[in-house]
């Protein structure tokens, strides 16, 4: 039985001391299959440890809860019963109310007025939802500007300035690439003669593109996944009709997953990475309340979680280990099936013949750091720190 972590929403709104108090007050409840939760426990909050729990209104199915899911029992119309033999953590109503008295944000989630406040902001949420499902073609697209690959870097730079843009498309026969201000910096650092060097040498030709009929949510996910700021937009014939920029896309959203990704990427230590990872819970809550499809949220959360794992590995592992290993995740996280944080399932592939005396220590630090950030340790010990 794994320890109660209380890192999933809404418990991520709690301070460390508040979370610890709830953990100390938690009691374990056991229900056999088809057993109904005792009416005396109405008003308490429960977190599923093992098994699954059904909520029913009369004979009609209402909801299902699985390990690490939480639910309340304040609704007297709902009957709570175990679909199979199940273990639960019980958080007594008195303990919850004590924490609510100190934490307004947490209290709001259990307030009778929550629905009232949600209805008051319904119009705003509907507008945000509409924007989420707009097509790429409905967003502002920058007109594509081209230059030939044989042009000099200086000519390309002048084109950037003339178009007040941070990029220009580069064509060469049937190939199309992109030259950006970042590539210009690379050329300057390399010390090349910008008057004589062809722009082709510093152009990125492996473009990630998107069709004009795709949803903006998918465009945002592609930017986060590929760590890019611009997406060339294609029509039905595969012709580039415009370029969707990061800033233009982010203006459509009030909660920016791309900004979370930047926080993750720029984290200089474990504390900074922990704070960035905490924002994922806020993102989930915001997108859910805005009516975003669960599949869209899940896909984006998987991308952000993978970036957390990648950044953590680069913060902990020496360069030699990073260059000779491949970190991978398995289970529901690896398959992209989850939204909330489940237990760790990860592993490490080593290059043939590679060994390093620091591997065990780094693996232990990696799993411990993830556990501290709210990704529980795997009960079956399918993790990096298991040398098999």
For residue 326, the model assigns a pLDDT of 92
Q: Is the pLDDT of residue 254 over 70?
A: no
DSSP H helix total and E strand total for the chain = 15, 15
Find the helix packing angle between 93-100 and 16-25, rounded to 10°.
170
pLDDT confidence bin for 25, thresholds 50/70/90: confident
- CA 105 → CA 71, 114, 285, distances in Å? 18, 11, 12
| b/e per residue 324-345 (b: at least 16 CB within 10 A) | bbebebebebeeeebbbbbbbb
Interval 177-202 mean pLDDT: 94
Helix or strand run (H / E) with residue 65: strand 60-65
Quick check: 49 and 2 in contact, CB under 8 A? Answer: yes
pLDDT score of 124 more than 60: no
Condensed to tens digits (0 to 9), the pLDDT of residues 283-300 reads 887 777 666 677 778 888
Residue 325's alpha-carbon distances to 53, 73, 225, 333, 383, in angstroms, are 41, 47, 21, 20, 15
**Cross-strand pairs, 215:** 135
pLDDT digit string, tens, across residues 324-381: 999 988 887 777 666 777 778 889 999 999 999 999 999 999 999 998 888 888 888 8
User: Lowest-confidence range among 129-138, 156-165, 209-218, 356-365?
Assistant: 129-138
Domains and CATH numbers, the chain: 11-119 (2.60.120.10), 137-250 (3.10.580.10), 270-372 (no CATH)
Assess whether pLDDT exceeds 50 at residue 84. yes
d(CA 155, CA 195): 8
Q: What is the pLDDT at residue 156?
A: 94
User: Among 19-23, 205-209, 229-233, which is the least confidently predicted range?
Assistant: 19-23
pLDDT value, residue 180: 92
Closest CA to 210 of 145, 163, 141: 141
Q: Would you call 249 exposed, middle or buried from its count of C-beta atoms within 10 A (0-12, 13-18, 19+)?
A: buried
Is residue 199 pLDDT above 60, yes or no?
A: yes
pLDDT given for residue 117 in this prediction: 41
Question: Residue 315, by phi and psi: left (phi above 0), alpha (psi -120 to 50) or beta?
Answer: alpha
pLDDT at 284: 81
Read off the pLDDT of each residue in 191-197 and give the average, rounded to a whole number.
94
Q: Which residue has the higher pLDDT, 232 or 341?
A: 232
pTM over 0.85, yes/no: no
CA distance 168 to 147: 7
Quickly state the pLDDT bin for 258 (edges 50, 70, 90).
low
Are 230 and 180 within 8 A, CB to CB?
yes
Higher pLDDT, 263 or 112: 263
């Amino acid at each position: 039985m794994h320890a109660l972590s209380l890192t999933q929403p809404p418990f991520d709104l709690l301070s460390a001391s508040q979370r610890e108090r709830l953990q100390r007050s938690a009691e374990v409840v056991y229900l056999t299959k088809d057993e109904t939760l005792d009416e005396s426990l109405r008003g308490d909050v429960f977190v599923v440890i093992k098994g699954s729990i059904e909520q029913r209104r009369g004979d009609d199915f209402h909801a299902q809860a699985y390990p690490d899911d939480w639910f309340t029992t304040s609704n007297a119309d709902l009957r709570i019963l175990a679909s199979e033999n199940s273990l639960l953590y019980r958080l007594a109503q008195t303990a919850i109310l004590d924490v609510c008295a100190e934490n307004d944000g947490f209290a709001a989630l259990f307030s009778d007025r929550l629905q009232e406040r949600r209805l008051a902001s319904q119009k705003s949420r509907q507008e945000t939802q509409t924007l989420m499902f707009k097509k790429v073609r409905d967003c502002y697209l920058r007109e594509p500007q081209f230059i030939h690959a044989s042009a000099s870097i200086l000519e390309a730079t002048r084109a950037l300035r003339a178009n007040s843009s941070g990029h220009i498309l580069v064509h060469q026969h049937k190939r199309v690439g992109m030259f950006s201000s970042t590539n210009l910096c690379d050329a300057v650092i390399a010390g090349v003669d910008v008057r004589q060097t062809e722009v082709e040498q510093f152009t990125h030709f492996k473009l990630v593109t998107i069709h004009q009929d795709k949803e903006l949510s998918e465009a945002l996910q592609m930017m986060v996944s590929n760590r890019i700021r611009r997406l060339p937009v294609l029509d039905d014939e595969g012709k580039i009709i415009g370029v969707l920029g990061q800033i233009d896309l982010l203006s459509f959203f009030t909660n920016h997953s791309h900004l979370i990704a930047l926080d993750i990427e720029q984290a200089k230590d474990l504390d900074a990475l922990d704070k960035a990872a905490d924002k994922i819970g806020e993102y989930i809550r915001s997108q859910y309340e805005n009516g975003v499809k669960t599949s869209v949220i899940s896909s984006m959360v998987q991308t952000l979680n993978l970036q957390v794992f990648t950044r953590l590995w680069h913060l902990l592992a020496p360069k030699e280990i990073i260059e000779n290993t491949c970190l991978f995740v398995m289970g529901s996280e690896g398959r992209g099936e989850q939204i909330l944080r489940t237990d760790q399932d990860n592993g490490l592939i080593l290059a043939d013949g590679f060994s390093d005396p620091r591997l065990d220590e780094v693996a232990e630090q990696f799993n411990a750091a993830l556990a501290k950030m709210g990704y529980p340790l795997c009960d079956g010990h399918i993790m990096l720190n298991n040398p098999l």
